[in-house]
Amino acid sequence: MGPHHHHRQHRDAVSRLQASLAAIPAGEQVRLAKSTSNLFRPRGRAARGLDVSGLTEVLHVDPVARVAEVQGMCTYEHLVEATAPHWLMPLVVPQLRTITLGGAVSGLGIEATSFRNGLPHESVLELDVLTGTGEVVTARPDGEHADLFATFPNSYGSLGYATRLVIELQPLGRQVALRHVHLGGVGELARLVEQVTEDWSYDGTPVDAMDGVVFGPDEAVLTLASFDDERTGPTSDYTGQDVYYRSLQRYDEDRLTGVDYLWRWDTDWFWCSEAFGAQHPLVRRVWPRRWRRSDVYHRIVGLENRYGLAAALDRRRGLPDRERVVQDVEVPLERLEEFVAWFLEHVPVLPLWVCPLRLRESEGLGGIRTARTWPLYPLEPGRTYVNVGFWGTVPIEPGRRDGDVNRLIEERVGELGGHKSLYSDVCYDRQTFDRLYGGEAWRTVRDRYDPSGRFPTMYDKVGGR
């Protein structure tokens, strides 16, 4: 099937989407009718959702120009299936297979290439957005809809939904050589991150991707990945009995195929599959391989959120209720050691995932490197941040309320000049939220593209309270 057939189908799908928006009565909450979600907060169950059923495909891959034209609800798993045969990949591939391209751009995705390539929205060349007026507009970095292009990232569907995106691609190594650098603590890790970010290399070897894990106050591992087309060797497989994150402590070096590297965290949802017994050798043998993926675990969590089975069992055993602490936060590199020390003292959750990032830079006139800024997620150009991911629960101590620990984390991250991703529990009051997440810029663009307020506000959308 040629691109023309795909584009005809795309036009039909966009028409259905527009019709489904028109059919939702004014005043009724608008949301997507989609079956999977990587959000960690209750999703509103609107009576009628937007019909995004025909918007899940890759429309075209141009291996020479290294660009892909992709529908908004296409998952990264499906996108990589289309780019990998050309030994190409999106510039940033978030860790979980079912994250959609539109979701990663209107929310925030991040991965180990982010110290070089920034966040997924920074390699978008243009995107079509369904706006609150029912129109679909094509937004580019400049021109008539540059304001929407700039504010769409991190807007979480409050300014519209991406139906089509054109993104840049980069080479993906046939194999990826990993070097696990074992470090005595977060201070050592921060110093090494600074050096690798400066040189994009380590010990004379180019570094294409970098992330790490903090296992305890005195144990951290920074993994430096080099995409390799020349030298091939035996590769490890972490979709079977072995669990990827445990290999970081065990080995100094490792090799994966390019595609296995991209999904190395998905099989065990980092380390969270342990909560379902999926890392126990006996359970793992009978747990079907096709179920060893993040979306399966996420569905189980969804059932728990709905029915509260584990919480009910804990109560019967006389254990305290637990608060969900599932967050990714970004702190400036120079404050990382301070943040982690504070975190380990106040929040008993380990391991921690760490992933350095910088706004993507391009070389301008006279060789001066500049980076574009994004109003709804204001990172500073030229500054290195580190994403810290922690996913667990903590007991609600006597005299404390559910949400107190998340509030403490928000305050500390703010004091250190950081931000947090908004896919999970958000406790900010509206004024603080607007200050941190470009409320004024958001309102100006919202008034232009959704004057009658069809879509929920950004604050309502992310569940601020």
163 and 110 within one domain: yes
Read off the pLDDT of residues 96-120 as tens digits, 9 standing for 90 and up. Answer: 888 999 999 999 889 999 999 999 9
Q: Phi first, then psi: what are they for 7, rounded to 5°? A: -70, -30
Does 401 reside within a domain? Answer: yes
91 and 34 within one domain: yes
How far is it, in rounded angstroms, from Cα 348 to Cα 339? 14
CATH code at 133? 3.30.465.10
Q: Which residues of the chain are modeled with pLDDT < 50?
A: none
405 and 363 within one domain: yes
Please give the residue range of the domain that contains residue 135.
Answer: 3-41+50-172+449-461
Read off the pLDDT of residues 135-171 as tens digits, 9 standing for 90 and up. Answer: 999 999 999 999 999 999 999 999 999 999 999 999 9
33 and 126 within one domain: yes
Does 218 reside within a domain? Answer: no
346 and 454 within one domain: no
3-state secondary structure (DSSP) of residue 311: helix
How many domains, the chain? 2
77 and 26 within one domain: yes
Angle, alpha carbons 167-169-170 (nearest 5°): 155
188-192's contacts with Cβ under 8 Å and 24+ in sequence apart are 188/220, 189/214, 189/220, 189/222, 189/336, 189/354, 190/333, 190/334, 190/336, 190/337, 190/386, 192/222
Does 237 reside within a domain? Answer: no
131 and 20 within one domain: yes
Confidence at residue 38, expressed as pLDDT on a 0 to 100 scale: 52
Confidence at residue 111, expressed as pLDDT on a 0 to 100 scale: 97
Confidence at residue 348, expressed as pLDDT on a 0 to 100 scale: 85
168 and 96 within one domain: yes
Does 435 reside within a domain? Answer: no
456 and 349 within one domain: no
CATH code at 389? 3.30.70
453 and 384 within one domain: no
Confidence at residue 282, expressed as pLDDT on a 0 to 100 scale: 65
165 and 36 within one domain: yes
Does 190 reside within a domain? Answer: no
